[in-house]
Chain A
């Protein structure tokens, strides 16, 4: 199974900050990587697919990069509605697997 390791597991940031979350795959997955945002009590929301493609309707403040084993999600100009938990997910091989999540809260 491919293990997805996210770092950090949590971070504190201020409104207006630029935040970067990393996701490392235990094996190469090309660009078969997605990112999700989840708020408490809600279903996850898709942000990015194919490592760097923005889902329709997602603001351009979210961006993704990487290929192979190392990926990043960057959020620019953090706003109150961006405080949430973020997950990466690989779909390069079975079983599909998720990272453990990164909780972004207010400093």
Chain B
């Protein structure tokens, strides 16, 4: 069974940092582009970042450039999102998804940025 399981969400103060993880199973992780997508409370979906199979290419939405870093460890079938200089507007459920067409989603992990 294809599965994505996110972890690492927490309550953090503005300006703080957090690292999210996504553990993949049931498919060949190293063969797929991977994404992070977020959803603020009561709002729609927003793509955050993605990374190529070998990690050689990364893309970000403008609002997180310079603050967030996406990475992966194919040996561990894991995807990561390092989030620095967090702002209140980064508060959201963060989902890990597979491929450009996002055929597979994790259950999400909640990040709350508040003092």
Contact = CB atoms under 8 A, between A and B. Distances in A.
Nearest to A42: B107
B7 to A, nearest CB: 14
A43 B61 contact: no
Contacts, number: 53
A46 B47 contact: no
Nearest to A96: B47
Interface residues of A, number: 21
Contacts of B45: 36, 44, 87, 89, 98, 101
Contact of A98 (B44, B101, B103, B107): B44
B62 A46 contact: no
Contacts of A36: 45, 102
B103 A55 contact: yes
Interface of A: 32, 34, 36, 43-46, 49-50, 55, 87, 89, 91, 94-101
User: What 4 A-B pairs come out closest when comparing CB atoms?
Assistant: A49-B101, A91-B100, A96-B47, A98-B45
